[in-house]
Amino acid sequence: MAGRTEGRGPTPKSDLAIGSSGAVALIPGSSNPGLCREITGKLGLPLCAVELKKFADGETSVIVAESLRGKDVFIIQSTCTPVNDMLLELAFLIDCAKRVSARRVVVVIPYFGYSRQDRLIGRSPISARLVADLLQLAGATAIVSIDLHSNPITGFFSIPVDNLSANAIFADYLKAEGLEGEGITVVSPDVGGVKRARNLARLLHSELAIIDKKRPRPNESEVASVVGEVEGRTCILLDDIVDTGGSLCGAAKALKDKGARRVLACCTHAVLSGDAVARVAGSNIEKLLVTNTIPLKKPHPKIIPLSVAHLLAESIRRIHLDLSISELFEKN
């Protein structure tokens, strides 16, 4: 057996008041330990002691080493690479919390894997729906995520789902760089992302453009046209996921071909599969802003990671205290 254990340790310094720590349990999955530590630092609460092991045959073992009875349990786990391992580990953690009489089991999934398989295409499953069913069957009572690939995913659940946005985090960085107002165009790389791009354009008081593209095959796209004013302007591409980087880099080239002065990109979830980092490095993209919903495996000067810890910590605080989190949506 090989394993990893998260201990309680000293209580970190808190930015956000959450009340009695005895009423809340923060359980870390193994997908993103750095983000888990940041969140606990914001809340001033320790992580629960959890032992996560792999048996010799690859089976996952989960042991929570303290009582969860009557507590609001928040399980923090992105279902990123290795996706299936992280998903099954999450389901086991949920089941564990439910079986030991937790009051609520809130699943904080910064990055929701399988979200792109959200509709029926030929003879394929709707995998995002099956994942939603699994989490609910395991015992989840609520879900918190960031920039789900599509809004219909929230309808796959019969429990509350808070789909937060990273737009304000990107906007704060861009404003600090002087990238707002006149001369800026926020660009949606496809029609499906227009609402997300429009919201960022509003935060930056900028214009909006749309790239019309077609997808001949999964992970491949071709730019058909650019709708909107981009010539001589600084263009900010906005998408929820950067995977292989092919679509994003192709969109950046199309914008430069249309006369864009500069091209930056903002993508919440840095999947960055295969040669994606090298592809971005050699592209027309000046900077790629991402968040730490997924740990950044290959740092690069062009790729700027921004933290979602405060956003998630504030959500956890409000859920535990039964406060509205609508303000978090209104800011994005």
- The active-site residue, picked from 213, 214, 256, 297, is 213
User: What is the edge-to-edge ordering of all strands in the sheet holding 207-214?
Assistant: 222-227, 207-214, 184-188, 234-242, 262-270, 288-291, 303-306
Place of tokens 């969860």: 68
CA–CA separation, 286 and 264 (whole Å): 5
Cα-based distances in Å from 97 to 94, 126, 278, 315: 5, 27, 41, 20
Q: What is the Cβ-side half-sphere exposure of residue 299, based on CA atoms within 13 angstroms?
A: 4
Cβ atoms within 10 Å, residue 55: 11
CA–CA separation, 152 and 150 (whole Å): 6
Q: E strands, the chain, where? A: 2-6, 24-28, 50-54, 60-64, 72-76, 104-109, 142-146, 161-164, 184-188, 207-214, 222-227, 234-242, 262-270, 288-291, 303-306
214 is catalytic: no
The residue type at 13:
K
Q: Which residues are tagged catalytic? A: 213
